[in-house]
Structure 1
Amino acid sequence: MNRNLAVPKPTRQRWPLLIATALAIAALSACASNTAKNPPLPTQANVDLERYAGVWYEQARLPNRFQKSCAGDVQATYTVLPDSKMRVVNQCRSVDGGTKLAEGMGRLAGDGADADPARLEVRFAPGWLSWLPPVWGDYWIIRLQGDYQYSLVGTPDREYLWVLSRDKAADASKVDALLDHARTLGFPVEQVIRTTQD
């Protein structure tokens, strides 16, 4: 063995690549872990996005970081765009009494034969970041009731869940029935908070 041969040491330029690789491996491991932990999440059959579009009022949700400052009056407006895309406008009354507004974009999660209108992805990051997979979040329509009057929406990792209605004053028994269904699918319904709609 030639001892005079220098072994190259990692340079500063290699660290970003090493860090990115480590993060990618960690993300894949987390996905694999979630898949193993949760069974496949069934979705509503034959969703018509044209009929789904319009205004929905949130009645209940699992707590999440991006709605932390919402005190009530949560609503979402969906508008179908060309190329199977959807404009999303969320708003709520914030804890300081103002109105919090977030505008995003939705798209079908799959392509071609794999495309299912009940399985959407939504992003609220700027459009120029849309090529990054992490900016897209799952939005799966799990169940519709009453001719597009009530919707149960969640994510396959069971971390996000919403019950939506077309009217601010929802039928409590229908909201409860959707939450009961979510419980059978493995969602932690005992953590759900009810939304105030004034």
Structure 2
Amino acid sequence: MRKLLTASLSILLSGCLGMPETVTPVKNFELERYLGQWYEIARLDHSFERGLEAVTAEYSLQENGSVKVLNRGYSSEKSTWKEAIGKAHPVDDEATGYLKVSFFGPFYASYAIFVLDHKDYEYALVSGPDTSYLWLLARQPTLDEKTLNHLVEEAAQRGFDTSQLIFVDQSRNLP
């Protein structure tokens, strides 16, 4: 938990609400459809998630209009689940996939959804403040190879170092 909090703080203090020049948040975004559980299929390495598998993110709407963020992952090294709870708010408007997320006090980091399956909301690519932050998310613990390859290529075209992607072991989340 300490790693998650420390890393969240470092993100928040390092880049705040910027995003890579190559990233444009999706339009026609429907926050209500984005809510629910997402599985982390791949990510770029950061200390706050290092060593975690079975990583999920769950988004739920709060009465005050903010979005509760529950990130969860399993540390096989420590044989424990780690959780971090945060909050998110749209930056521009609710029809743009650009949120600010906080896991620590008043400090926020960017959460830019730049690729999204608009039809079914089954997969997404998310960037943080720069190209060292990338998450490939899906509604299921696995993605078919064609979709996965397409998303990795989309990220590479935008300047993310996809050779450094960590493909998350989701076997703990499989039936």
TM-score, with length taken from structure 2: 0.80
Match of 1:138 in 2: 110
> 1:41 and 2:23 equivalent?
yes
Which residue type is aligned with residue 150 of structure 1? Y
Higher RCO, 1 or 2 (CA under 8 Å, sep at least 6)? 2
**Number of residue pairs matched by the alignment:** 155
In structure 1, list runs of 5 or more residues that go unmatched.
1-26
**Identity of counterpart residues, as a percentage?**
32
Structural mapping, 1:169-188, within 5 Å: 169-188=142-161
Match of 2:45 in 1: 63
Contact 1:150–1:166 under 8 Å retained in 2: yes
The correspondence for 2:72, drawn from 80, 83, 91, is 91
For residues 110 and 85 of structure 2, the distance between their equivalents in structure 1, rounded to whole angstroms, comes to 16
The correspondence for 1:163, drawn from 129, 133, 136, is 136
More helix by share: 1
CA offset digits 1:143-162 (Å, max 9, x no partner): 11251001111124212001
CA shift, 1:83, in A, is: 4.9
Match of 1:75 in 2: 56
Match of 2:4 in 1: none
CA offset digits 1:126-180 (Å, max 9, x no partner): xxx31xxxx2111111111251001111124212001111111321321221110
CA offset digits 1:93-137 (Å, max 9, x no partner): 113221011111011123xxx665311011111xxx31xxxx211
Contact 1:62–1:160 under 8 Å retained in 2: yes
Contact 1:54–1:77 under 8 Å retained in 2: yes
- Structure 1 runs of 4+ off > 4 angstroms? none
TM-score, with length taken from structure 1: 0.71
> 1:148 and 2:127 equivalent?
no
Cα distance change on mapping 1:115 and 1:48 into 2, 3 Å:
closer
Contact 1:45–1:118 under 8 Å retained in 2: yes
Q: CA RMSD in A?
A: 2.2
For residues 147 and 43 of structure 2, the distance between their equivalents in structure 1, rounded to whole angstroms, comes to 15
SS for the counterpart of 1:91 is strand
For residues 43 and 176 of structure 1, the distance between their equivalents in structure 2, rounded to whole angstroms, comes to 21
For residues 124 and 141 of structure 2, the distance between their equivalents in structure 1, rounded to whole angstroms, comes to 13
More strand by share: 2
